[in-house]
Amino acid sequence: MKNMKIKAVLSTTVLPVDGAYEVRALSECPDVTGVEHYIGHPDTKTIVEELGAIQAPSKLFFGLNPGESAICFAIRQGRSDRKEQGYTSPHQAVTMDDLSVRIITRIDAGQCPFCGAQVYRDGWHCPGCGAT
């Protein structure tokens, strides 16, 4: 999980920018402390804020740049009904079992911020200037 550039926490795979993306399911949630979220659904919002994500100043997510990742949370099918039938304390503990977590990473080419050469993904090594 090191070196991931997590730019945002989303409730669905909201992708307003064209590009190539890789989506992977995660068995556990990465550290999203301080990451801005764009989630409006109240239950999911509560969960991601308990995990340390903070509400983005804008409701509009402008997308990922190459090499950036977003964590997408969705409540698993069938789990939200069970929650509604049970108690509804806003402080109830939520577990990752209730959530489906995916990481989405933009993998198409970007530009080296130093020399402008094409580079790929995160953890890149620039073939132009050798920056990493």
Binding residues for Zn ion (CB under 5 A): 112, 114-115, 117, 126, 128-129, 131
- Tell which phi-psi region holds residue 67, choosing left (phi > 0), alpha (psi between -120 and 50) or beta: left
Q: Which is nearer to Zn ion, 35 or 126 (CB)?
A: 126
Q: Give CA–CA dist 104/89, Å, rounded.
A: 31
**Phi, psi (rounded to 5 degrees) for 29:** -80, 135
- The least distance separating Zn ion from the CB of residue 105, rounded to whole angstroms, comes to 20
The contacts of residue 124 (CB under 8 Å, 6+ apart) are: 67, 112, 132
Q: Which is nearer to Zn ion, 56 or 117 (CB)?
A: 117
- The least distance separating Zn ion from the CB of residue 124, rounded to whole angstroms, comes to 9
Q: Which is nearer to Zn ion, 55 or 118 (CB)?
A: 118
- The least distance separating Zn ion from the CB of residue 11, rounded to whole angstroms, comes to 35
